[in-house]
Amino acid sequence: PPMIRRDDYRPFGWLVPETKLDFELGLESTHVTATLTVARNAKADPAPVIRLNGDGLEPESVLVDGVPATNWTMDEGDLMLPLTGEAHEIRIATTIQPSTNSQLMGLYASNGMLCTQCEAEGFRRITFFPDRPDVLSTYTVRMSGPKAQFPVLLCNGNRIAVGEGGDSHWAEWHDPWPKPSYLFALVAGDLVARNDSFTTMSGRKVELNVYVREGDLDRTEHAMESLKRSMKWDEEVFGREYDLDLFNIVAVSDFNMGAMENKGLNVFNTKFVLADPETATDADYDGIEGVIGHEYFHNWSGNRITCRDWFQLSLKEGFTVLRDQLFSQDMGSAPVKRIEDVRILRMAQFPEDSGPLAHPIRPDSYREINNFYTATVYNKGAEVIRMMRTMAGEERFRAGTDLYFDRHDGEAATCEDFVEAIEDGAGLDLKQFRLWYSQAGTPKVSVSLEHEGNTATLRLGQVVPSTPGQLDKQPMPIPLKLALFDRASGKHGGEQLVVLDKAADTFTFDGFAEKPVLSINRTFSAPVTIERDVPREDLVFLAAKDDDPFARYEAMQELMTGHLVAAVSGSLGDNDRAAARADIARALGAVIADATLDDLMRGELLLMPGQTHIAEQMLVADPGRIHAEREALKAAVGAVLAEDLVAMHARASTLPFTMDAAGKGARKVKTIALTYLAGADPERASALAASQYDSADNMTDRQGALMVLAGLGTAERTARLIDFYNRYQGNALVIDKWFALQASSLHPQAIEHVKALADHPDFTLRNPNRVRSLYMAFAGNPSAFHAADGEGYRMVADLILALDPINPQTAARFVPSLGRWRRIEPGRAALMRSELERVAAAPHLSRDTFEQVTRSLD
């Protein structure tokens, strides 16, 4: 497959002001007639032939200005049509087969309904079209089909006419806002809706619907409330008002990602719509609020202003992730949300940035765009814009985004357009800052603090590591929030922002008779790794006293990570190990006892660093040793703090179920208590978990208890796993949890369990949620996936090969877990590499998997 390069961008030779689509709907066969008005683009090079992208389509008829055309040719699936005049009408008819569309791109069948997914290049699987984001067109769509099978017919924009005849009916929709083809959507099925409305800031009433299958309606309240909160928040915080009279959401159970922001008709994975306390966890509730917000916010950051080309993906995704993060911060606990977002970044993006698939947030080339919907483009993209906000301050940042929305409304824009608008609107100089868009790799910032007389001297250095295709890097501006604490009073004289924009720099601070304690990168003001030699007592100090909750969390993480890295690398004697564990247990004990903390924050401070984060600190990691040391630390803490943990569990268990912060926090610390106890005293933990499971009146408690039980070899385990399955059989989202719990468990036979589950009658490769619930959970389970004999690697490679012909987009997402072989100890690395080679050698590999595998082997 050819490499597509950012520098090769050229505007399309033709404009498509109007698109008319006619669908005669059927699950097996759908007939599509597309009528495009086209006109020469004066801003582009003359194009005597128009390229209409197609993927697996055959034209049944091609008419130009009403006359059958015969001079067209096919090129790699695209239809090449010579045109002589300034403007024409092109009409093309095709027939597609939704029920055999297992890729879930284009028009496909799911549970008897029809729906579409067009981003990034799915529209070309529906009809021939210039399927690129810089071709904006106004759509009018007519669809007809059997009334009984498809009583609901939905599309973008407003419904302008309906009619029926015999068993069939039809609807016509018009979307007044010009849009790229990737935002087109159509849904037809037997659906019911929760209805509501929202009155916008200018007083317009918008009809809101959340469409689901009959029986799911009573699980849509949270989605609807989240939507209304999103609409209000975007008006208040970014000044953005909704621009149609109708906003529809449809939930489908077969979906490649979380959701899709099609204009006026968002299509969602059921996972991000359906919730009630009996079947959804607190994390599920938060996920729904975040994703509903994210897709809604795209209406401005993505739809009204879209991307010129797919290299600009972070323009809409990075910005929209930042917007959804700020929204969730405002809806709940801001510090806890910030900690969660940083944890996701470190778990998913840092490893990407230090591995073979590293790429800048604005990539320079790709073979398959689906492979670039990454944590780098999304989450690091959000961090980069967040840094601009930190440097400008909230008010000036808002002036920048206002200017961006004004200046580029209705356009297909670039990341450069965004940066210029922030520069002009917020009054920032971002010349050097643009490097964040072009350089991959997580900067390493070295920090040391010296003290003499009354002066503290801070020395900072930065290195941006080499990444594939980018060996030499330049220093970038890194905004670091910091505070210097007086040891005696536990106070500081105010937070400051320093911007490190050189390879090395020095900052001095006067008025310190004694050496202060440094708190740096507060709120995680820059997405970097801090490297510093800091005494354990300073970390204990910050963990207990820092007034920035993120910095407190960070100190606890550093305390545990520092110890684990030292222990794994063999540099600790028995006494040092025992002393470090005792310090950690004491710090965690203080967190349990700290009455000033709420339980949500307490839960964050008690969390152990994940195995991926620990491995990331080492050049070459031994997953077996990390796992053993981490489990041993957990057991040691569980033993020392057993009574405190049991008391915390008992205290939290007395709270009745509520959805406020106190209720959520109580549930969080209960399961954390069980996790530590399970390491130290499996029998006691098992009994407590079984009782939590049995008395649970909500999914958070039930799942948390079962997660702990699933990792234990105790008598309580099997009965609860059977009960869970029987209780929720038929509820696909909860059965997904049942698969995931077992695949991610600490049980020594997890591999055998996963093999058995792959043969379970409820398992299918055709549903991405089910595939992810078993195999993503497994690939993220270090003790099972990294089994020393390579069995875990074999299983994931087998999955990739089996899934690739069915759903390449989802198959390719499993490659990165094997692709990290260079950072793993040599024995396992060889096994991982040989599995990648086996995949690479398979015939007929999709473009998606081929690209990821070859990049991982290079």
Interaction of residue 124 with ligand HT7, rule CB under 6 A: no
**Mask: binding to ligand HT7, 217-256, rule CB under 6 A, as x and -?**
---------------------------------------x
- Residue 492 and residue 486: Cα distance in Å, rounded? 6
Residue 373 contact among Zn ion, ligand HT7, none, beta carbon within 5 to 8 Å by kind: ligand HT7
Nearest approach in angstroms of CB 401 to ligand HT7 is 18
Nearest approach in angstroms of CB 185 to Zn ion is 15
Nearest approach in angstroms of CB 768 to Zn ion is 17
Stretch that binds Zn ion, among 315-323, 420-428, 557-565, 662-670 (CB under 5 A): 315-323
Q: Which is nearer to Zn ion, 78 or 317 (CB)?
A: 317
CA-based angle 256:261:262, to the nearest 5? 100
Which of the residues 355 through 394 are near ligand HT7 (CB under 6 A)? 373
Residue 117 contact among Zn ion, ligand HT7, none, beta carbon within 5 to 8 Å by kind: ligand HT7
Residue 554 contact among ligand HT7, Zn ion, none, beta carbon within 5 to 8 Å by kind: none
Stretch that binds Zn ion, among 195-203, 317-325, 492-500, 643-651 (CB under 5 A): 317-325
Q: Which is nearer to Zn ion, 262 or 354 (CB)?
A: 262
Burial 438-470 (b: 16+ CB within 10 A, else e): bbbbbbebebebeeeeeebebebbbbbbebeeb
Q: Which is nearer to ligand HT7, 52 or 120 (CB)?
A: 120
Nearest approach in angstroms of CB 117 to ligand HT7 is 5
Nearest approach in angstroms of CB 259 to ligand HT7 is 6
Which of the residues 289 through 308 are near ligand HT7 (CB under 6 A)? 294-295, 298
Q: Which is nearer to ligand HT7, 120 or 705 (CB)?
A: 120
Phi, psi for 676 (deg, rounded to 5): -65, -45
* Residues that contact ligand HT7, how many (by CB under 6 A): 13
Q: Which is nearer to ligand HT7, 172 or 261 (CB)?
A: 261
Nearest approach in angstroms of CB 320 to Zn ion is 5
Pairing of strands 529-532, 444-452: parallel
- Residues 6 or more apart whose CB falls under 8 angstroms from that of 791 comprise 751
Inter-helix orientation angle 282-297/221-238, to 10°: 50
- Residues 6 or more apart whose CB falls under 8 angstroms from that of 660 comprise none
Stretch that binds Zn ion, among 318-326, 517-525, 581-589, 747-755 (CB under 5 A): 318-326
**Mask: binding to ligand HT7, 304-333, rule CB under 6 A, as x and -?**
-------------x----------------
Interaction of residue 736 with ligand HT7, rule CB under 6 A: no
Residue 260 contact among Zn ion, ligand HT7, none, beta carbon within 5 to 8 Å by kind: ligand HT7
- Residue 179 and residue 131: Cα distance in Å, rounded? 11
| Set 295, 340, 423, 629: catalytic member | 295
Which of the residues 526 through 565 are near Zn ion (CB under 5 A)? none
- Residue 455 has, within 13 A of its CA and on its CB side, a CA count of 7
| C-alpha torsion 320→323→328→333, nearest 10 | 140
Which of the residues 79 through 118 are near ligand HT7 (CB under 6 A)? 117
CA-based angle 625:628:629, to the nearest 5? 85
The helix or strand, by DSSP H or E, that contains position 196, with its residue range, turns out to be: strand 192-199
Residue 289, both tokens: 């609020």
Nearest approach in angstroms of CB 120 to ligand HT7 is 6
Residue 835 contact among Zn ion, ligand HT7, none, beta carbon within 5 to 8 Å by kind: none
Residue 397 zone, left/alpha/beta (φ > 0; ψ -120 to 50; rest)? alpha
- Residue 685 and residue 676: Cα distance in Å, rounded? 9
Q: Quick check: helix, strand or coil at residue 39?
A: strand
Residue 587 contact among Zn ion, ligand HT7, none, beta carbon within 5 to 8 Å by kind: none
Nearest approach in angstroms of CB 182 to Zn ion is 12
CA-based angle 528:334:604, to the nearest 5? 70
Residue 340 contact among ligand HT7, Zn ion, none, beta carbon within 5 to 8 Å by kind: none
Q: Which is nearer to Zn ion, 209 or 320 (CB)?
A: 320
Q: Which is nearer to ligand HT7, 108 or 676 (CB)?
A: 108
Among 131, 261, 353, 368, binds ligand HT7 (CB under 6 A): 261
The answer to whether the beta carbons of residues 666 and 658 sit under 8 Å apart is no
Nearest approach in angstroms of CB 298 to Zn ion is 6
Nearest approach in angstroms of CB 313 to Zn ion is 9
Among 90, 114, 257, 315, binds ligand HT7 (CB under 6 A): 257
Phi, psi for 583 (deg, rounded to 5): -60, -40
Residue 383 contact among ligand HT7, Zn ion, none, beta carbon within 5 to 8 Å by kind: none
* Residues that contact Zn ion, how many (by CB under 5 A): 2
**Mask: binding to Zn ion, 794-823, rule CB under 5 A, as x and -?**
------------------------------
- Residue 31 and residue 23: Cα distance in Å, rounded? 6
Q: Quick check: helix, strand or coil at residue 734?
A: helix
Interaction of residue 604 with ligand HT7, rule CB under 6 A: no
Q: Which is nearer to ligand HT7, 121 or 629 (CB)?
A: 121
One DSSP character per residue, 376-440 reads IIIIIHHHHHHHHHHHH-HHHHHHHHHHHHHHHTTSEE-HHHHHHHHHHHHT---TGGGHHHH--
- Residue 63 and residue 36: Cα distance in Å, rounded? 10
Nearest approach in angstroms of CB 662 to ligand HT7 is 32
Interaction of residue 260 with ligand HT7, rule CB under 6 A: yes
295 labelled catalytic? yes
The answer to whether the beta carbons of residues 602 and 587 sit under 8 Å apart is no
The answer to whether the beta carbons of residues 539 and 561 sit under 8 Å apart is no
The answer to whether the beta carbons of residues 185 and 249 sit under 8 Å apart is no
Residue 738 contact among ligand HT7, Zn ion, none, beta carbon within 5 to 8 Å by kind: none
Interaction of residue 119 with ligand HT7, rule CB under 6 A: yes
Specify the DSSP class assigned to residue 3.
P
Q: Measured in whole angstroms, how far is the alpha carbon of residue 130 from the centre of its chain?
A: 28
Tell me the C-alpha to C-alpha distance, in Å, between residue 72 and each of 38, 82, 92, 313, 326: 16, 7, 12, 32, 50
Q: Which is nearer to Zn ion, 317 or 538 (CB)?
A: 317
- Residue 453 has, within 13 A of its CA and on its CB side, a CA count of 6
Q: Which is nearer to ligand HT7, 260 or 633 (CB)?
A: 260
Q: Which residue is nearest to ligand HT7 (CB)?
A: 257
**Which residues bind to ligand HT7, rule: CB under 6 A?**
117, 119-120, 256-257, 259-261, 294-295, 298, 317, 373
Residues identified as active-site: 295
**Which residues bind to Zn ion, rule: CB under 5 A?**
317, 320
